[in-house]
Amino acid sequence: MYGLYIVPALLPIFGGLVLLCVNHFGSAGKDFGKKKSLGLEAYVLGLTLVNSLVLAWLILHFGHGQRLVLFRLFGNLTVMFCLDGMGKVFAGIISFLWPLAVLYSFEYMRNETRKATFFSYYLMTYGVTAGIAMAGNMTTLYLFYELLTLVTFPLVLYPMTREAAQASRRYLYYSIGGAAFAFIGLVFIMSFSRSGTTEFIAGGALDLTRAFARKNVLLFVYVLAFFGFGVKAALFPCHGWLPRATVAPTPVTALLHAVAVVKSGAFAILRLTYFSFGTTFLRGTWAQWVVLCAAMLTIVYGSTMAVKEAHWKRRLAYSTISNLSYILMGAVMMSPLGLAAALSHMVFHALMKICSFFCAGAVMHQTGKTHIYELDGLAKQMPLTFACFTAASLSLVGIPGFAGFISKWNIARAAFGLGLNKALAGGEKSLSWLGFIAVAVLLYSALMTAVYMLTVVVRACFPQICPENEMPPKNKNLPKKETRSAKKSLDPNLFMLAPLVIFVVLILAFGIHSQPLMKLLLEIGGEAG
């Protein structure tokens, strides 16, 4: 039964490669990109559902100690799969969201060309992301992390425009640079590990006797690896690729910003901090101070830039930059509550942000409108779409009764606990003050989130209070309006609308009753921290 570990990672990769080969070399695939193809949709959806069911079965039935060594690279470097508590959280997110994203993408991509090429890479991205979630050591995570760049690069390039080419190159350059820093961390983890491997161990894998003898060197390596993995998590100043990647189709940007790429970066940082270096080694050091400041700076920067941005998808991209660092800030509190809060925001942000992007994509698909100033009064014509967007917006702000409030409240508790505990224990003053500053950063970001999210809602629902005939700001750097033919402004069909409704139901359900999930996440935090 352990052989099932390889299915969630390899099945979508193999299925995507088969689809790519059939499309390019087989006569059966020549019509896939030219017209509606029920065969293509059935193949993609069927493969996605099977993979999600296998992944769900593994989450429910396999314990922490069960692992599978797929093959040995050389020496102690092995490719190994294992599902512990943290891996199950990330695997659960992707197994649930991916089928809904595929369903949405069928309608969004209905009239596009090269659909088979698009869905082949879409499938492969699912498998690679599952490999990251199930990685049993840093070697395996790093290999799939690199593969993620390769399979998502064609998706960013998919529109084949000049803007897409520039965005994909920037994404590639940033990712390669980040991977180089992460590789340095991989080498040092193996060199100072207790077992001589890169296996993930709750509490940290370092041999503390040797590690403390080279403490400052290892702390510097940790910071380098943190920023290396932080490239995909859009950590400032490594964030520049993310807003530009919005030139890709909405099903791609939704996965980039909500599920696959950015969450993989955050997940890798959680692994690096809690299962490789360990909080015993890192807590209270200058390295913790540096990464905590970086996360807070990114939150402030992302939320501020989102207020200034007039393009809808780019505004959501800056929101992602800010919210991803909520996860990182909770994680680098290096406490059980901080890790649980980070994991809860990983779950809830995935729901909130994919819902937001899909709402924006639905409007673009139905009307061709891409900028905030074009949305006046549109809620009257698309009531269900904007009702879903309003729910996601209120949750992102952190209004009680919505899921976003739960995760932000727990991050604030962890931050306040860091400041209070350090102050009472006579710890480092810098860390005690940073704990209180982190709470202030959360409050500032909540205010900015209310501005940049609810502005969209107000313009769409209450155009009478907006300036009449408002023209776009005179800014030469604004992205060009997407060249999609205008359509009648109506809510989309069930392929696009059903996922939105499901996301909103879950946002409300977790906002009202999150106790079982938080209990589970606190257990994971206690084991790791």
Q: Assess whether pLDDT exceeds 90 at residue 529.
A: no
pLDDT at 144: 93
Mean per-residue pLDDT, 72-94 = 86
Distance of alpha carbon 373 from alpha carbon 378, whole angstroms: 11
Mean pLDDT of the chain: 84
Question: What pLDDT band is residue 260 in, cutting at 50, 70 and 90?
Answer: confident
C-alpha angle 266-272-275 in degrees, rounded to nearest 5: 120
**DSSP string covering 96-163, please?**
HHHHHHHHHHHHHTTT-S-HHHHHHHHHHHHHHHHHHHHBSBHHHHHHHHHHHHHHHHHHHHTT-SHH
pLDDT at 427: 47
Which stretch of 31-45, 116-130, 366-380, 407-421 has the lowest confidence by average pLDDT? 31-45
Distance of alpha carbon 369 from alpha carbon 507, whole angstroms: 26
Q: Could you give the count of Cα atoms lying within 13 Å of 252 in the half-sphere of its Cβ? A: 27
- Whether the Cβ atoms of residue 413 and residue 344 lie closer than 8 Å to each other: no
> What angle do helix axes 336-367 and 312-331 make, rounded to 10 degrees?
170
Distance of alpha carbon 185 from alpha carbon 226, whole angstroms: 9
- pTM (2 d.p.): 0.88
Higher pLDDT, 339 or 419: 339
Q: Could you give the count of Cα atoms lying within 13 Å of 321 in the half-sphere of its Cβ? A: 32
Q: Which amino acid is at 124?
A: M
pLDDT at 464: 66
Distance of alpha carbon 346 from alpha carbon 326, whole angstroms: 9
Distance of alpha carbon 489 from alpha carbon 329, whole angstroms: 40
Q: Which amino acid is at 438?
A: A
Strand 77-82 to 67-74 pairing: antiparallel
**pLDDT > 90 in the chain, percent:** 41
Q: What secondary structure letter does DSSP report for 514?
A: -
Q: Assess whether pLDDT exceeds 60 at residue 471.
A: no
Mean per-residue pLDDT, 122-132 = 93
- Tally Cβ neighbours within 10 Å of residue 402: 23
Question: What pLDDT band is residue 91 in, cutting at 50, 70 and 90?
Answer: very high
Report the SS3 class of residue 278: coil
Mean per-residue pLDDT, 78-83 = 86
Which stretch of 135-139, 245-249, 374-378 has the lowest confidence by average pLDDT? 245-249
pLDDT digits (tens, 9 = 90+) for 151-184: 998 988 888 888 888 888 898 999 999 999 999 9
Q: Assess whether pLDDT exceeds 50 at residue 486.
A: no
Q: What are phi and psi of 35, to 5 degrees?
A: -155, 175
Read off the tokens for 34. Answer: 């030219």
Which runs of consecutive H residues, i.e. helices, occur in 135-260? 138-157, 162-192, 208-213, 215-230, 241-244, 250-258
Q: Assess whether pLDDT exceeds 70 at residue 489.
A: no
pLDDT digits (tens, 9 = 90+) for 352-400: 999 999 999 889 888 888 888 888 888 888 899 999 999 999 999 999 9
Mean per-residue pLDDT, 69-88 = 83
Distance of alpha carbon 144 from alpha carbon 87, whole angstroms: 14
Sorted by sequence, the CB contacts under 8 Å of residue 215 that are 6+ apart come out as 281, 285
- Tally Cβ neighbours within 10 Å of residue 486: 9
19-37 as b/e: b if 16+ CB within 10 A: bbebbeeeeebeebbeeeb
- Whether the Cβ atoms of residue 232 and residue 261 lie closer than 8 Å to each other: yes
Mean per-residue pLDDT, 61-76 = 75
Question: What pLDDT band is residue 481 in, cutting at 50, 70 and 90?
Answer: very low
Q: Assess whether pLDDT exceeds 70 at residue 19.
A: yes
Q: How far is CA 363 from CA 103, 238, 370, in A?
A: 17, 30, 8
Q: Which amino acid is at 29?
A: G
- Tally Cβ neighbours within 10 Å of residue 347: 23
pLDDT digits (tens, 9 = 90+) for 141-150: 999 999 999 9
58-78 as b/e: b if 16+ CB within 10 A: bbeebeeebbbebeeeeeebb
**DSSP string covering 58-100, please?**
HHHH--TT-EEEEEEEETTEEEEEE--HHHHHHHHHHHHHHHH
Q: Assess whether pLDDT exceeds 60 at residue 229.
A: yes
- Tally Cβ neighbours within 10 Å of residue 513: 10
